[in-house]
Structures are given as structure tokens and as C-alpha cells.
Structure 1
Amino acid sequence: MSGLKIGYARVSTSGQDLTAQREGLIALGVDAENIHVDHGLAGTNRSRPGLREALVAVRAGDTLVVTKLDRLARSLPDARDIADELTRKGVSLSLGGSIYDPADPVGRLLFNVLGMVAEFEADLIRARTREGMAIAKAAGKLRGKQPKLTATKRRHLLATHAAGTHTQTELAELFDISRATVYRELQRALPPPSRRSSVAKKVPLILRCAVTTYAAPHERSLLGFVSYTNSLTS
């Protein structure tokens, strides 16, 4: 068959591996540089950069190659839209080695049937997921969003910040969290306003200025300042 073979691979979550699909596409005659991929995107998602790149890359006489139809589309409307675009471009579709010509009535019929099967499988997965979550919730096993830091790591974070040896950016990298999370944890750890004001009153103005100057290289940490002034007044 004349024309290029353009491959497309997709995984629904960023943690899944594309190696098997890549190897499958190469075995079907696709050059590695002609494989376009999407990470962490469901087949029902219409906005897939890798798929768009593949559809832009194919020309008349080329073949779009996927290992299975559910890697290409998970809904019948999406499958039909892709088939229409391939038909307009004069591009054939290879599903696991079987060639389907969307312009041919029989090929289009088979493609639509496969699209219906893929959509049914997607609906079945969603139904099973909802059922599983309902069962887990009823059994008390499904909890809300878990904290990004354990109590031990949180104490370590606060102690490290109080030492004044790391910036908030460095703390975020050290504990593998975002700067926003670091900021929230530090704000949560601050004493109530009444206590903060009472501590400030106990420390002479000149000493507070000195501590602030000392803290400047370390982002003027409020938590470090409070910890330091507490140690001076205890």
C-alpha cells in the first residue's frame, strides 16, 4: 500500500505505560518518528493534542494506524467525526492490522459497529466505577481527599522552615509539594493573632528590627520570627 503509516497511541492516566502500544504500532509498520501519543487523556475527551497532530500529519493515500479502536475513540459520535475527517482526506484506517476504508460503505459500517462497541465498553467501565465507589462508600472505605503531608512530615516541614535554612521554594522541592501547600502549612502553624501581638509587645522594637533583618536572607519567615522571639522571651 502506498503512502505513509501514521501511528496514534493513548493512555487514560499519566501513570500508564505506552510501551506496548508503541511496539505494536512499530510491528504494524509505523516508523517510531511517526507515532503521536496522548498521556492521561480519556478516549471520550475530544481535545487530544496527540490525536490532532496525527490527523494533521496524514495525507491522501496515507493510513492512520492504532492498535485498537478504543485507543482512538470511546464514543460513537467521536468515531464518526474521525471517520468523516479521514474520508475527506482520503486516508485509510488500520485497527490492529485490519484496514478499514471509511469511504467504502462496508468499511464504514464495520467502523460504526466497532465504534458502538467502544462506546458500550466506556459506558460499562463508568457504570462499574460508580458501582464500586458506591460499595466502597457504604463500607466506609471511600474517604475524602487525603492531606498532602502526614503529621510527621508536617512537623518536619515546620521545623526546617523555622531553622531558616531553606526558602519556601526549596522546601517545596524538598518535600515534593507545591509552594502554595508550603504557604498554607506555614499559615496554619502561625499562633492566633492575639498571641502574636502579645509576643510582639514583649520584644523591644530594636530587637524586633534586628530579628527581621536577620531573617531577610531566609524570606523573612514569619514562623521563624515567631519561633525566635518566643525563645527570647520564654
Structure 2
Amino acid sequence: MLIGYARVSTAAQDLTVQQRRLLELGVTEDRIYVDHGLTGTNRARPGLEQALAACREGDQLVVPKLDRLARSVPDARSICDQLTSDGIVLNLGGSVHDPKDPVGRLLFNALAMVAEFEADLIKLRTREGMALARERGRLKGRKPKLSPRQEAHLVKLFKEGEHSVAELAELFGVARATVYRAVERSMESGV
């Protein structure tokens, strides 16, 4: 049986091309598992876990490209080793990977290295872009959950001691960590 897996990193991306390719490779629509908006560097992906769980000995896990399966050499090897030990064949865009073939292993590792390199380049470009935006004053971080006036009121109520942190968090519609940070900021500023 053919089990397909497709992944895109952001919610804005589309899976259509990958799903179409999987259908062309013989995977039925009901056997395609997807992860939408999850990076390949994160191994905890529900769609991947479902695809791996659906595979039985003798089945093929079909992915359009190796970088859709993993974005690091250790992760790609780990998944491949798991598949091999379970008697499942890995199909990369129509090419069946044979882990016993030295040339196949070499090509697999080279593809995994390229996928990891691409992920590293994306991170580098993102950091550079954020630094440039910060330099130009366009990247200022997240908007605060509380206005200065709300934060002052929250701190005042906290210092009065009549409300617990959990109550204040619920009252202001924020997480408890936000309450703790507001109190900490007020102590640092001496208010």
C-alpha cells in the first residue's frame, strides 16, 4: 500500500502541488497525510505521525521530496532507519530509496544535507531581515497585552493583596506570566 505525506511550513502556503504529485505517484487521496504550517525541523508533526502509524510492513511511504519529510540529516536518517526497521520502503518523488545500496545511501545523505542547508539559509535570511527591519524601526516586537494604564491598575491591585495572580490574570484577560512580568517591571522601575 502507498501512504503519502506532504508538508508546508506556513499557513499561507498551499499543498496542492504536493498532493497532486502524490496522486500522480499512485497514492489514493484518502491515504495522504498532511501537515500545514509546521516546519520540517520540528519532528513533532501530527500528519507525519499519522502517516507513519498508517504504514505497515511492505508498504511504501511516499513523499514528493525529501525536504518535505525532514530538514536535518539526523532527522532524515532517523525516520529512514525507523521505516527500514519496520519493513517500510521510502519513496522519494518516485525513486525508491534502498538503504542497503551504498550509492542510494550516499544520495539520500546528500539530499538530506541539501535540505538542512536550505533550512539554515532560510533561518539566516530571516534573522538578517529582522535585523534590518529593527534597524529601520519597523520591527518593534509584539504589541503589549495591557496599556500602561491597565498595567498600573493591575500592579496597584496586586500590591493591595486582595487578589491572587490567577484572579488578576482572569480579570484582565491575560496569562499569569503577564501579571508576573508587569509586577516585575514595576519593581524594577521603583513604582
TM-score by length of 2: 0.72
Q: Is 1:76 aligned with 2:73?
A: yes
Q: Which runs of 5+ in 2 are unaligned?
A: 146-169, 175-191
Describe the superposition over 1:28-48 as per-residue Cα deviations: whole angstroms up to 9, x where unpaired: 110001111112211000111
Q: Choose the corresponding residue for 2:122, options 117, 121, 125.
A: 125
Judged with a 3 Å threshold, the aligned counterparts in structure 2 of structure 1 residues 181 and 92 are, in CA distance, closer, same or farther, namely farther
Q: Which runs of 5+ in 1 are unaligned?
A: 149-179, 185-234
**Which consecutive segments of 4 or more residues in structure 1 shift more than 3 A?**
180-184
Amino acid at match of 2:56: R
Q: Choose the corresponding residue for 1:41, options 24, 38, 63.
A: 38
**Partner residue of 1:7?**
4
Size of the aligned set, in residue pairs, is: 150
Amino acid at match of 2:34: V
TM-score by length of 1: 0.59
Judged with a 3 Å threshold, the aligned counterparts in structure 2 of structure 1 residues 90 and 105 are, in CA distance, closer, same or farther, namely farther
CA drift at 1:16: 2.1
CA drift at 1:84: 0.4
In 1: Cα distance, 2:92 partner to 2:144 partner = 43
- Which is helix-richer, 1 or 2? 1
SS in 2 for 1:41: coil
In 2: Cα distance, 1:63 partner to 1:102 partner = 14
Amino acid at match of 1:105: P
Describe the superposition over 1:132-162 as per-residue Cα deviations: whole angstroms up to 9, x where unpaired: 11111111121222479xxxxxxxxxxxxxx
Judged with a 3 Å threshold, the aligned counterparts in structure 2 of structure 1 residues 103 and 59 are, in CA distance, closer, same or farther, namely farther
In 1: Cα distance, 2:120 partner to 2:80 partner = 21
Larger RCO (CA within 8 A; separation ≥ 6): 2
**Partner residue of 1:98?**
95
Amino acid at match of 2:116: E
Amino acid at match of 1:49: P
CA drift at 1:82: 0.6
Judged with a 3 Å threshold, the aligned counterparts in structure 2 of structure 1 residues 8 and 24 are, in CA distance, closer, same or farther, namely same
Q: Is 1:30 aligned with 2:14?
A: no
Amino acid at match of 2:18: Q
SS in 1 for 2:133: helix
Judged with a 3 Å threshold, the aligned counterparts in structure 2 of structure 1 residues 135 and 81 are, in CA distance, closer, same or farther, namely same
SS in 2 for 1:37: strand
Q: Is 1:57 aligned with 2:47?
A: no
CA drift at 1:126: 0.3
Higher Rg of the two aligned structures: 1
